[in-house]
Amino acid sequence: MAARPLVAGVLAVQGDVEEHARALERSGARVRLVKTVAALREVDALVVPGGESTTVIKLLDWFGLTEPIVERVRDGLPFWGTCMGMIVAAHDVADMEQKTLDLLDVTVRRNAFGRQVASAEVPLDIPALGAEQFPGVFIRAPWIERAGPAVEVLASYGGHGVFVRQGNVMGTAFHPELTADGRVHDYFVKMATAAQS
């Protein structure tokens, strides 16, 4: 009997929701937009897209999603935060008193690569994805200033981690959903599918 398709949730309160949904579908997942606890219960994995981190933390509280997300991820739900989503997942934010979900043992620095005008696409070496470089799209992006011992740094740029994984939790400082290269989404879908078995 064939395994059922992975149902990947995309947090749909702010950010590149549709772009992630399309990329996840291309990677073979079914997509469910998540705005409620009921929707969260129906997914096998969760992506938190880019946006504004302090606003999203408030919206998670408003929708009653903060504790349910933390509980599910700590119980093994695969989680991927991109840009703002990585900030939300981090243990803490450098030089700021900012609430986070504390799912990923890293310290991040907001807007580390500069303002919107400093946004850029740069080729990244990501051995876990193969030899071909990945087009990293950085938009007011964070970087990782500290990674705990259980955190695997999968890619760095400018001397700082920009793609990390800690067990079932993944973070990227860049925006793979804004490129035609589906390898990071493929990686996440494979990771989440493996967690089902």
Q: How far apart are CA 67 and CA 128, in angstroms?
A: 31
The DSSP code for 6 is P
- What is the rounded CA–CA span in Å between residue 82 and residue 188? 12
- In the block, which residue shows the tokens 């469910």? 32
Q: Which residues are catalytic?
A: 83, 175, 177
Kind and range of the H or E run holding 73? helix 66-74
The pair of three-digit structure tokens given for residue 121, joined into one six-digit string:
């696409």
What are the structure tokens assigned to 111, written together? 């807007």
d(CA 117, CA 132): 27
Structure tokens at 41: 């219960």
